[in-house]
Structure 1
């Protein structure tokens, strides 16, 4: 007969059973909790559920994953945005598929603006007072550029989107890429340097500054004063396509034109070759019709003169009759 298991041996849990037990222990220990912090990476799924990260408001590296289901999200009376400071009420739970601690949020209310958003507003106000965002500074983009520059990361999906859009719409337009990281501490000086390089080389007619979407922290390089001033100082008209349609950066305000996405920036920077050719065909037709009418009228008059010259005997007979 097999030996009986030792009484001192630890209990062997299944993964799902252990996570369930941890979740039950959290619920029993903490119950409903309230926690304050800054929103980061806020997104609303098509289902209506909201997912985001709550960062520590004092600048510590601590973060907490949060889920706010549709029923609770429908009760929100404001639009949450990254960097905003909020107070959440909910219950701690374990998301079993990933074994992650998360807060299931039952309510959310604003609790003042977060540190990053406060920096954004202060810098925006100062640069706006200097006139960097004035409408009078905005320049029209060249209607038919020969070359378009792109400032972004070589590894960014935004670069692929821009190149695909330009190849589809305007394959005749030359594209020059000025690579620079678009995220992290090295991004602001690199982006400013890339914009300055494009200005110094003067080989493109329009400059696109772009990257894909992300949280407020991900896009923060485009709120850096060095990047904003580089865009404002660029002698080349700049189209800024950073993030998604709802993302707004200070680079957008400094650019000559803001695009909601990188793809839209490419579409604004270069007109469609097909549409341009159709317009040329229509203009050619408008010029051809009056020219044809004029030529036809002259041809009729020439025919009349030719008929008169073709019968000189009739002219002589008429002359004799008058004598």
Structure 2
């Protein structure tokens, strides 16, 4: 229970910085060096070499702790940390004063096995691969000159903007049909399956782009859902999958007809460059013109030679008249 206000001479008023510093000292004195185990989520490596990520509870509890691993410590790690990896970290708790956030300063990290989500990913990948969903024989070529492309993504995400920008720059003549869908969360797999079904039922586009921006393994998990993977593999329309960043690989990437490293790359791979096609037409036009002129010149010379072999009609007529006389 909060005590009532005391007289000014009796109460202690903390500054924010002073309170956070006192809390930081108390935490350091109480815990000292700490070893944690958990699952990496949202791992990023800054240009400075420092690494930032969250450590999730490995037992599935709703608990997350922000972590920072500075360049010196990151350089001593003998493996590549990734989302979903189960690790043990040693370090100290600290309060980050600018935001008033509790964080864990990682001084050492080692493997502790694969994370639960990543293990699930590997098991499902092995099963679907054994069923042939990722076979190269299933891959179909994309249409060489599409006139209309379908895009399955969230209308609120940056991926749609990236695709539209790339198509406007690269192939402004290509029409775009958007099939809106959730791309994250528990409802996303069903929404993605529905969007794929609608696009195939309407059959109004030449190919489909299945895209979304980057994120952690949890953020992209809808694209590892078995229902979505099978829907991509069963699509009558060719599918280009561009999910996450270049290093992100989902099961939908493996089942699609073509994997793109980013949404922008998906748009570029699905549409030929208008400029390059016009340049190719110019080259072909010049080549055909040269061939036509060469052919006409050759036929003209042939005609001249044939004309030289023929006598003038009046000379022939005079010769025949003399023979007749």
Gaps of 5+ in 1: none
SS at the partner of 2:145? coil
Partner in structure 1 of residue 276 of structure 2: 275
Offset from partner CA, 1:211-257 (integer Å, 9 cap, x none): 00001111010010111010000011100000000111111111011
Partner in structure 2 of residue 26 of structure 1: 27
Counterparts of residues 192-211 of structure 1 (less than 5 Å): 192-211=193-212
Count of aligned positions: 318
Aligned CA distance change for structure 1 residues 119 and 315 (closer, same or farther; 3 Å): same
Counterparts of residues 17-96 of structure 1 (less than 5 Å): 17-96=18-97
1:296 matched to 2:297: yes
TM-aligned CA deviation for residue 21 of structure 1: 1.5
SS at the partner of 2:141? coil
Q: TM-score, normalised by structure 1?
A: 0.93
Q: TM-score, normalised by structure 2?
A: 0.92
Q: 2 CA distance for matches of 1:43 and 1:315?
A: 96
Partner in structure 1 of residue 147 of structure 2: 146
SS at the partner of 1:110? strand
Q: 2 CA distance for matches of 1:229 and 1:165?
A: 28
Q: 2 CA distance for matches of 1:100 and 1:318?
A: 117
TM-aligned CA deviation for residue 320 of structure 1: 9.5
Aligned CA distance change for structure 1 residues 301 and 5 (closer, same or farther; 3 Å): closer
1:120 matched to 2:101: no
TM-aligned CA deviation for residue 302 of structure 1: 3.7
SS at the partner of 1:119? helix
SS at the partner of 1:188? helix
1:287 matched to 2:299: no
Q: 2 CA distance for matches of 1:34 and 1:158?
A: 39
Q: 2 CA distance for matches of 1:108 and 1:26?
A: 21
What is the aligned-residue RMSD (CA, Å)?
Answer: 2.1
TM-aligned CA deviation for residue 287 of structure 1: 2.0
Aligned CA distance change for structure 1 residues 311 and 218 (closer, same or farther; 3 Å): same
TM-aligned CA deviation for residue 299 of structure 1: 2.2
SS at the partner of 1:271? coil
Gaps of 5+ in 2: 1-6
TM-aligned CA deviation for residue 278 of structure 1: 1.0
Offset from partner CA, 1:249-294 (integer Å, 9 cap, x none): 1111110110000000000011101111111121222222122111
Instruction: After superposing the two structures, state which structure 1 stretch, 301-310 or 53-62, moved more.
Output: 301-310
TM-aligned CA deviation for residue 316 of structure 1: 7.1
Offset from partner CA, 1:48-84 (integer Å, 9 cap, x none): 0000000001111110000000010011110111111
Q: 1 CA distance for matches of 2:72 and 2:79?
A: 15
